[in-house]
Structure 1
């Protein structure tokens, strides 16, 4: 992703947060994501599936943790999900995930009926408890994976 795309994504995040559909996001979380967050385009996963929402995941190192191969610390990330419709005037939501860790992949769940897929999505996100650099530096850390199920609709975002 080039510099212009990153600036556009950061600007979009600011607009998302200021939108009336956006949920309250703490200022430090927003600033951390804008300053050094990693943008993950969730729509790139499950490529053959039709998607009716634009989903993005922002990952930032958890506060008060130093991450790096040389430190061997147990790094975990905080995650922020942004959701927007493909409309001319998109409806937007922002949700801070409870899950902490390193994002691994996303699997879009195929809806049972096409009618239920309009402006809705269901995803299964896979996370690694500790990032791969920390587990390489400290082999005693477990390489544990866990999953979070997101159900996204106009009423909100449900995280299980």
Structure 2
């Protein structure tokens, strides 16, 4: 049996329409603020997120707290997973045991101050034919709002585990 999801915005996410009208309408707005950048704090306007941010040890910082790349990886994995569940359900595939991992890389191009982001998404769709799973992953990538936001700006690698 396929997973059923009937939350707000499903049709908008899958078809690019909202309420039968062409285009998009705002369903939700998240607001966050940063003080101190990579060595500071991020908070949301509702107070549900209030995190100290630190530069990771790999970049010469103290580590010991989340960093922007980790937050982006977590958000992308969750959003992609939702799109995967929706697309799989439409294909009659049960994605209950699916898993999504996102790796966000901070990359430097030549100059010291020229940085870009790279993303790798690995999807686990156990017990699904690999060809069908591959099609579902590609469709989820086409429909995921985060994937679309990054389109043309960020290199995103898709992997089926």
Q: Same fold (TM over 0.5)?
A: no
Give 1 or 2: higher strand fraction. 1
TM-score under structure 1 length normalisation: 0.29
Give 1 or 2: higher helix fraction. 2
TM-score under structure 2 length normalisation: 0.29
